[in-house]
Amino acid sequence: MGSLARKLGLDESDLIDFSSNINPYGPPKSVLRSVKRAVNDIDKYPEQEAESLTEEIANYLEIDKRNIVAGNGTVELIYLLPQVLKVKRALLLVPSFTEYELSLRKVGAKIVYKNAFAEDIAAKAIKKVPGSIDIAIIGNPSNPCGYMIEKSALLEAIDYNPECTWVVDEAFIDFTDDASRNSLVKEAASRDNLVVLRSLTKIYSIAGLRLGYTVASKWTTARIRGAKYPWSVNSVAIAAGKTALKDKSFVKKSVALIAKEAERLYSNLSKVDGLYPLKPSANYILVHIEKAITAKRLQEMLFRRGFAVRDCSSYTGMDDYYFRVAIKLPEENDRLLEALREVLR
């Protein structure tokens, strides 16, 4: 977004950033306090494998700490997995998070694409995969589409295709209704062909600290640790993560507020002439433009009015007429709606 802002002669600080899917109610005050305390110790090396954070995550999830590897955001782990698993051929549901594709290309893997903009299509696409597929990477909820595949459908596909390693990215699952029921972390700890990725940066609004983790069998996590750089998680991020996981009331309150606002924004976007939003399951909405204006052009016009949205034309499987918006505070969402009506009028 920075390059486009500079091109248009705008200051990024003047923009309301709807392109970033981060909890607008964070970070929690408890996390900010722990960050300030941790700064006093930045002259010291962090824990080599973020051991205390890993233990806190294990307590939070109620699984063995040996099933967990903490990382410098989930992106570090996304890039590690194709290397560790020696992937030759992969399945991707598209559109999906761009880094999945880039991480697979980095190891020279051949990618099989299946288009899925909705849950029923996605569930059908993964039910049976070719025997030559080494790995399938799925965002659940899907980013940018926003749909959520039912846990039972995912497990059916995983059990039906045991030779394939399934990587399920649950970066936004904390924003869904009953995340603990929807998550596959417990199953990942006991299956050799299932790896789950989780993020702490979205729900706790600490993206600048880069903090995520993976849950897998002990055999898989041992291989990931063997390939991972030491000290990749800094001491400030470790302190923030440990504190965040204890603040359950923050998550509960945030999720309730965001779910209500997501429904309201979805409803109002549906009423804007020329827009067709996809029903969200998390904290963002994918929107199709049904007028003769591209997402790139719409993005530029909104930029000039003080709003940054995500032009989705760069996603594999999408055309030039999709954009994504994050759920922000109600007054900010109302301002965006007015700007969209004005631009599309």
Q: What is the pLDDT tens value at each position of the chain, 345 positions in all?
A: 556 566 556 666 679 999 999 999 999 999 999 999 999 999 999 999 999 999 999 999 999 999 999 999 999 999 999 999 999 999 999 999 999 999 999 999 999 999 999 999 999 999 988 889 999 999 999 999 999 999 999 999 999 999 999 999 999 999 998 898 999 999 999 999 999 999 999 999 999 999 999 999 999 999 999 999 999 999 999 999 999 999 999 999 999 999 999 999 999 999 999 999 999 999 999 999 999 999 999 999 999 999 999 999 999 999 999 999 999 999 999 999 999 999 998
Q: 136: part of which helix (H) or strand (E)?
A: strand 135-139
Tokens 């965040």: give the residue.
244
Structure tokens, 155: 């497990």
- Taking the domain 29-246, which CATH number applies? 3.40.640.10
Structure tokens, 153: 């459908």
| Contact predicate 79/106, CB 8 Å | yes
> Residue 208 contacts by C-beta under 8 Å, 6 or more apart in sequence?
none
> Residue 139 contacts by C-beta under 8 Å, 6 or more apart in sequence?
93, 96, 97, 100, 168, 169, 171, 172
Nearest of 304, 320, 345, 341 to residue 16 by alpha carbon: 304
Cα–chain center distance at 223: 24
Whether residue 27 has a cis bond before it, omega within 30° of 0: yes
Domain spanning 2-26+249-344: which superfamily? Aspartate Aminotransferase, domain 1 (3.90.1150.10)
- The domain ranges of the chain are 2-26+249-344, 29-246
- Using CA atoms of 37, 39, 42, 47 in order, give the dihedral in degrees to the nearest 10: 50
Query: How far is it, in rounded angstroms, from Cα 105 to Cα 82?
Result: 9
Q: Helix 119-126 and helix 151-160: axis angle, to 10°?
A: 20
Equal fold, 2-26+249-344 vs 29-246: no
